[in-house]
Structure 1
Amino acid sequence: MKTLAVILASALISISSFAQSGKEKTVMVGGAPMYPSKNIVENAVNSKDHTTLVAAVKAAGLVETLQGAGPFTVFAPTNKAFDKLPAGTVETLVKPENKAKLTTILTYHVVAGKWNASDLATKIKEGNGTATLTTVQGGKLKASMKGKNIILTDEKGGMAKVTISDVNQSNGVIHVIDTVLMPK
């Protein structure tokens, strides 16, 4: 009888957990729901639009970092963003001998802290139209508004638009962008 009670209790806990996860406010990215209870890596691996980014994060050895407590704000380029780079760039960057350069580029897409879109918009407004963000790589990104869109400008003058904002994670937030940002 005790065994049956334990089995029933376990089943109820599982059902309760499943019902709770169904209540999470998810955002669809790359055809998959992004769950706020999961970390950046756990969600990103499910996005069909971010397979190149996930492969690059793995090649750079940044999986453990992005699964850490954070919080992090990640500006996540899509596969199409990586496709805009000159032919062969991604293939070259993911080679073991280029790990340092790849790490530099990827960490240039990460800002310490959790900056949702309204926080960024407020900072832009307070900065009279521009906000400077320091990346974990140590470089600077300029954030501005173009209509209702947040635009990021990298140190080389390249620009990326936030196409999906406020994809909340257990350890931060992801903003999907349409162009790979490049440090100096």
Structure 2
Amino acid sequence: MIDRTVIAQILTTLLAFAVFMWVFIKYFWQGISSAIEARQQYIEGKFSEITARQNQLDEQQEEYNQRILTMEQEGEKLKQAEIARGRELVQQIEAEARQRGEDAMKQASERVELEIAKAREELRQEVVSIAITVAGRILKKEIDEVTQARLAAEFIGQVKELQKSEAEGRKSRE
């Protein structure tokens, strides 16, 4: 069996432990409990603060992402606008070049027409000069009226042939 002294020691130890626990709870538990509670509240406060900061950072991140998206969209719009402006500028330059080309062709055509008109005028003057020379010769030879009419008809026919060949030459150039 168990010895009485061992039982007494166990009971004394249990009684001492109970007294210790009662004193501990009575005088120290309140302080420790409030310290633990204060520490828990501090930790919960820090967690709440961290959560609030995380939410704030998430909101800022979302705001920055939205700004970036907006800037990218605006950049794309500006890019498209500049591309359209460039195309319009190219079309405008092409139209101006086309117009300049047409104007140059028109001026060249007008110059050719002027040169043709000058050549005709020179030819007419030459024909008149030849006619005057021929008329002078005719007068010197004292040709009768029938011969003069025949010579005048030949001269008019030659002038018409000349005009006809000029018109054909002009058509072949066009």
**Fold shared, TM-score > 0.5 on shorter chain:** no
Larger radius of gyration: 2
TM tier, smaller: under 0.3
Higher helix proportion (structure 1 or 2) = 2
Q: Which has the higher contact order (CA 8 A, sep 6+)?
A: 1
Normalising to structure 2: TM-score of the pair?
A: 0.20
Alignment TM-score, normalising by the size of structure 1:
0.19
Between Structure 1 and Structure 2, the one with more strand by share is 1
